[in-house]
Structure formats: structure tokens, C-alpha cells
Amino acid sequence: MAAPRQTKSFLMHKLREIGVEPNSRHGQNFLIDLNLVRLIADSAELGPRDVVLEVGTGTGSLTELVAKRASHVVTVEIDKHLFELASEHLLPHDNVTQLRCDALRNKNNFADEVMEAVGAALRGTPDAQLKLVANLPYNVATPVLSNLLMCPHTPAMMVATIQKELAERIVAEPWSKDYGALSVWMQSQARTEIVRVMSPKVFWPQPKVESAIVRITVDPERRAAIPDPLYFHQLVRALFLHRRKYLRANVASAMKRHLTKEQVDAVLDEMGFAPDTRTEQLDIPTLMTFTEKLRALAPEWSL
């Protein structure tokens, strides 16, 4: 059974008791449907060799459920009141490391103390694998999911509650309105799926948008097929800055200090792209091949 403290009435009472209100700046929307809390944990398929990273401890309801299934949980909470509230309930679990900090050092990197704690937990678990399991605050969902694929500790899986709009971008196909740099980055390395779409009514306070549970299962073979992940990540972001512009204009703009227009045209011709090709048309294998041709000509390029 999930802890009763995740019900709306308990949350309202407990937070008022300690004199705090949910903080919209930190994206605090508590999931109050206990069946969905369990669905998040179930979707991660946790086992005794799993080390879990949770961003957004909240009251610790999901943390407690996950701790009963995994080897170790590193959970991060920025709010001092929630950190203290969760600490009381997580005290019996000696396999939980609580951190009170911002999980991100900046928009492109996790905080050092978070990665250090994850590394220590992985070293302490035989044949360990890392999984992200979290009801992510909306304001950090994109950098958390995106940046974790660039960290030294690669996750085997990420299961998270995020905005439905973001989930649709993660699973989008070429030519669709949601297909973009995030779609390419995630799908180039993982299988992505939406597990469940959720109404605002299952949260307190209710957000203004629908949410979704997304599962991202990392595929080591796909990752190994990307020779330079950082270069690929940055180039894809640059090409999708103006996704509806012609591809030639996007490449010429991104590479203007490194390649001449003649060099750009030569690569486009070699790839067989028509003059009116747009970035949003290109599937992931094509983008990977294209990236490598550009990297061969401009290996020092970066955003």
C-alpha cells in the first residue's frame, strides 16, 4: 500500500501545519492518485541491482515505494520544508540518500553532489544499473531527462511524470508538429513511450495542463552508434532552432564560421537533399549520417 500522506486532505493538512504552501516556482504539484504513484514505480521494473535517482522528493511517498524495491535511492529536494517532512517518513529506510539542493548546477549539467551520490550508490551495488524514477517538477523536466543521457552514469531507464506536451515531443516522429531536437536526442539512444496520460485532477494543486508518465529505455547499441554524442546533440539543437526553414539555411547559419557555403552545398548534394528540404523531414539515421559528414569537415565546431 502507498503511504496515505499522498492524499489531498493529508497534504493540505500537513503543509499548513508546518506553515507552507506549494511553491509554483519549484513546480510543486503533488500526485494524489495513489494508483498512479504505484504505476510510476511499476513502470520502472525495479529490482535488487537498481540504483534510483529521484528528482523532487516531495513528501517522500514515491521514494518510500521505490526504496522497498531497489538497492538504493538517491533523492533530491530543493525545498527545505519538504526535505524535512520527507526525512521523518524516510528515516526507517537505510538505503535512501537524501540531498537538499538543486539537482542541476546549470541548464546543461547536474549538480556535482548529485552525481557524486549516484556514483557512490552505484559502486556500493554489485552489477548496478541506474534508473531515474520521478514525478518531475515541470520546470526542470527537459534538462533532467536530456542531461542525464550526457552524464558519466548512464541510466538504463527513465520513468517520469512530465507535461503531456513534453512527452509528445519526446516520442514524436518526423514531419509531425512535435518532432524536434528533443525527439531526436532521446530516440537516437532509447526506446520512448507514453505509459499514461493524466488529467490535472490527479494533482494538487491542479496544473493548467495535462501530464503524462513517460518511459525511456536506453539502448546501448543505439548509443554506441553515435561517435561524438556532444557534437551530435549540439548540431541537432542548432538545426532545429528554425525547424521550418530550409535545411541549407540552418546549416549555413550554424556553420558560418567553419564552412563556406560551397562546402555546405557539397555536403547537401552528397546526401541527396533537395533544395527545399527542411530539418523536420529528416529521420534519425539520416541526421546521424549528416552529422558525421559535417564533423569530418568541421571537427572543432560547437554551439
Q: Checking DSSP bridges between strand 50-55 and strand 155-163, what pairing results, if any? A: unpaired
Domains of the chain: residue spans and CATH:
4-219 (3.40.50.150), 229-297 (1.10.8.100)
* Predicted confidence (pLDDT) per residue in 221-259, tens digit: 999 999 999 999 999 999 999 878 899 999 999 999 999
Residue 27 confidence (pLDDT)? 64
Q: What is the pTM of this model?
A: 0.93
pLDDT at 25 over 80: no
Mean pLDDT of the 65-94 span:
95
Tell which residue, 205, 161, 206, 200, has the closest CA to residue 12: 205
Cα separation, 259 vs 295, whole angstroms:
11
Confidence of residue 6 (pLDDT cuts 50, 70, 90): low
* Predicted confidence (pLDDT) per residue in 280-299, tens digit: 999 999 999 999 999 999 99
Residue 15 confidence (pLDDT)? 76
Mean pLDDT of the 54-72 span:
96
237 burial (CB, 10 Å; 0-12 / 13-18 / 19+) is middle
| Helical residues (DSSP H) of the chain, grouped into ranges | 8-17, 34-43, 61-67, 80-90, 112-123, 141-148, 164-171, 181-187, 220-224, 229-239, 247-254, 261-271, 284-297
Residue 2 confidence (pLDDT)? 43
